[in-house]
A and B are shown apart, each in its own frame.
Chain A
């Protein structure tokens, strides 16, 4: 916690919602292929990117996440045919909303990662972790409650 406030030692906390059929398998492949990537992302497996309610994202921010990642199948590859098309619209809108409310939209990242893209998954997590380090901690709860 102490380190969190100093920008240098800051390790962002990322909540990642990964769809079972693509992104989760992609993350798995990154692991089994021994590709190294930062341990900052905590994966939550969901059946489809469209299972992710904007509420989950907002709740994660409230509970201390510095970034939220949503991973789904590439367009045209969703296991349920159209789930990621709905997710795409939903999160474009949510990014705009959080930006209006004062949260950097770069803290919410949506990517389509297939089961064979283990290296790409690792690269995205590396990138996102770096971005969040630059942005610093969100501390939403503290900032809302104390007005800091």
Chain B
């Protein structure tokens, strides 16, 4: 027996498909004891839909590829990714029906909560057309990052060690709903910014570049970290970038359709003051 939320989700999905309001429902289903994303196109398949604490995937990553009208199950991070995709004109609002659900944190096979969920600040969906289930309370503040207490030298050592593990599989990029460039600089051949057969400093460069690209985009869903085959704590890096963007430019990605991309905007007076402050602190 599924939960009330799960049953309600099935009901809505069935309705939408029956009425022909959507061509496809994008949600989660079981495969063995794994929960995986699924694409449902007929009311008869709706019974396979599940909603539980293993629905970790950010479904927004599929939206750009899908044709027709789609109903998508969206917890906090999925909905924030959808907001960013809408802002970047990667998907059309009228092609989407967002089935909002609140999340209580997703867990892995062993039942341990994912790092990104432990520190998550937005478990409730930010946008939706239909809401299913009950809202949950949100944490107010970010955790303190233990890496902040390290010296510069120790930080460089830490990240070097992490990035030396990287096998350049780009799984972190492929799974990211915000990585949608047609041509990715990480794979560019001419000029080849990241030398594929080069030394480990290329991996350092790769991840530093990727972090700059996450600024103002990352919704902290943690998919990159889960996809990483060698357990690089990528979310530390991206969360830090998110926090910097918030502190400096007062924008939290995925929260508001009206927000301008912070690096394609400016605020003359405020930025001049910021510049002064930052100079005093960081040279």
Contact = CB atoms under 8 A, between A and B. Distances in A.
Given A97-B212, A100-B240, A89 B268 contact: no
Do most interface residues of chain A lie in helix, strand or loop, or is the interface mixed? helix
Given A92-B274, A131-B283, A147 B160 contact: yes
A86 B199 contact: no
Given A62-B205, A82-B266, A102-B159, A97 B244 contact: yes
B119 to A, nearest CB: 16
A145 interface: yes
A58 B209 contact: yes
Contacts of B157: 102, 143, 147
Nearest to B204: A144
B131 to A, nearest CB: 35
Nearest to B274: A92
A71 to B, nearest CB: 15
Contacts of A102: 152-160
A21 to B, nearest CB: 19
A85 to B, nearest CB: 4
B263 A55 contact: no
A95 interface: yes
Interface string A90-128: 101111111111111110010000000000000000000
Contact of B212 (A54, A62, A105): A54
Interface in B145-197: 147, 152-161, 163-164, 185, 193
A98 B155 CA distance: 10
Given A62-B201, A93-B248, A100-B155, A85 B163 contact: no
Given A95-B282, A147-B160, A100 B209 contact: no
A108 B153 CA distance: 17
In which size bucket is the chain B interface?
A: 35 or more
Contact of A92 (B158, B199, B241, B275): B275
Contacts of B161: 147
A57 to B, nearest CB: 9
28 contacts: A54-B209, A59-B205, A75-B268, A85-B266, A89-B248, A89-B262, A89-B266, A90-B263, A92-B248, A93-B212, A93-B245, A93-B263, A97-B208, A97-B240, A100-B147, A102-B155, A102-B158, A104-B283, A105-B282, A106-B282, A109-B283, A140-B204, A143-B157, A144-B160, A144-B164, A145-B201, A147-B161, A147-B164
Interface of A: 54-55, 58-59, 62, 75, 82, 85-86, 88-90, 92-106, 109, 131, 140-141, 143-145, 147
